[in-house]
Copies of this chain bind each other. A is one copy, B any other.
């Protein structure tokens, strides 16, 4: 059996409130800060409330979406008086937790998000990373309160735009459904469990446990679908169809209803069979995304253990 030896992961950052109205992460981070949790066995933990003014205002962002500001280009853009708040904050966070792509960056950064979509518990990551897949498999094997899934975005590191890209490794933990501005105990507990299992895995890994390889299923992003819109006003003319609403990750086949227009007409899915996710996410109306579509893929990964000095 192939066994991959990898360096330990002693420095971890846990971030919440990157979107100021996604409440589970805000309260998990606040609670950890209140309890001064900065160490978990072999792991030193930095907790960060990413966008405090947006949290204060209970809005996704103040000037622009912070979680789209971590591309190489934006992180090195000169700051002027007219620079949006979030771009300045992104550069601060990059200095604190990165710099992105450097040896000084935290070993693992995970960022806590909520969605209004019925997605259960998802790990979202950019590139294929074996350690992330191990953590995913570990959470999946331990959690019983919700389905646990992985979503893979295929974006080059330089173009990776979200906060977790600042760490040497990183992923987003996305849990829903939860309305923005609302804190649900069930969703909070689910996210807290995922955080605790991640820290547990890190401690086991750092202290020499061998994690066996295997394979997992993941959803690989294919494309986004916008709402039908009025060509003149650009306003939406339909809502997500009741048969698609709340059915994230349920295979969409050609002919399945996807939208119901305000005048009562059904719009159907066309083309290949794909899996919908982020169905009716609140914040994606302005991004012109009604839902994403993914292919299901099987990812194989080797056994891993920590590299001994």
Contacts and interface: CB of A to CB of B under 8 A. Distances in A.
A245 B180 contact: no
A156 to B, nearest CB: 31
A283 B262 CA distance: 27
A58 to B, nearest CB: 8
Interface stretch (A90-98, A104-112, A233-241, A247-255): A233-241
A260 interface: yes
Given A27-B262, A262-B27, A183 B116 contact: no
Contacts of A188: 239, 262
A9 to B, nearest CB: 27
Interface in A169-206: 177-186, 188
Instruction: Report which residue of A178, A262, A285 has the largest number of chain B beta carbons within 10 angstroms of its beta carbon.
Output: A262
A282 interface: yes
Contacts of A177: 179
Interface string A14-41: 0000000000000100110000000000
A65 B287 CA distance: 27
A179 B116 contact: yes
A282 B182 contact: yes
Interface string A113-124: 000100000000
Contacts of A241: 185
Contacts of A132: none
Interface residues of A, number: 31
Interface in A47-77: 58-59
A280 interface: yes
A239 B191 CA distance: 14
Given A188-B239, A239-B188, A280 B182 contact: yes
Nearest to A257: B185
Interface string A252-273: 0000000010100000000000
A240 B116 contact: no
Interface in A208-246: 235-236, 239-242, 245
Given A116-B182, A178-B179, 9 more contacts: A30-B235, A181-B283, A182-B282, A183-B236, A184-B280, A185-B240, A185-B241, A185-B245, A186-B242
Contacts of A181: 116, 180, 282-283, 285
Contacts of A184: 239-240, 245, 280
A113 to B, nearest CB: 15
A59 to B, nearest CB: 8
Q: Which of A179, A183, A262, A283 has the most CB of B within 10 A?
A: A179
Nearest to A30: B235
A276 to B, nearest CB: 15
